[in-house]
Amino acid sequence: MMISPATRPTLWFVGVTTAQSSIMRVFPEWAQHLGLGDVAMRGIDMVPHDRPDRYRDVVAFLRTDPLTRGALVTTHKLDLFAAARDLFDEIDPHASLMQETSCLSRRGNRLICHAKDPIFSGLALDG
């Protein structure tokens, strides 16, 4: 798998057919509304239940690319977590409990694994 390094601050989207996702159209407006500046969203397409080494390659790239700010993970939440758990510097309690990741963030050189779905699902149920 060949992923070219980011040329500006970038949030990655790890999915199956990322170019077709509505997030690619919506993200620039969110970024502008949130005042994020010159930030890009780029996709990384993987087949469902891809090989563990491919998930590890993606996470290793996200860990070391200096302009990567984080990643959104959709279809690959469970498989990516299982294959690359040891590559995360920190795993939030929801990710640990659910054994999945829906979001990766960078804090300095640290790669942090988050599971946001339990939070959003709980808010929806409470609402």
pLDDT in tens, 50-96: 999 999 999 999 999 999 999 999 999 999 999 999 999 999 999 99
Residue 1 has pLDDT above 90, yes or no: no
Chain centre to alpha carbon of residue 49: 16
Q: Which uninterrupted H or E stretch holds 53?
A: helix 52-64
Residue 120 has pLDDT above 80, yes or no: no
C-alpha–C-alpha distance, residues 72 and 105, integer Å = 9
The pLDDT value given to residue 2 = 79
The pLDDT value given to residue 12 = 97
Question: What average pLDDT does the segment 38-48 reach?
Answer: 96
The pLDDT value given to residue 122 = 60
C-alpha–C-alpha distance, residues 92 and 51, integer Å = 24
Average pLDDT along the chain: 93
What CA–CA distances, in Å, run from 97 to 18, 94, 101, 112? Answer: 27, 5, 11, 15
Question: What average pLDDT does the segment 19-23 reach?
Answer: 93
What CA–CA distances, in Å, run from 63 to 10, 28, 68, 125? Answer: 13, 23, 8, 34
The pLDDT value given to residue 125 = 63
pTM: 0.90
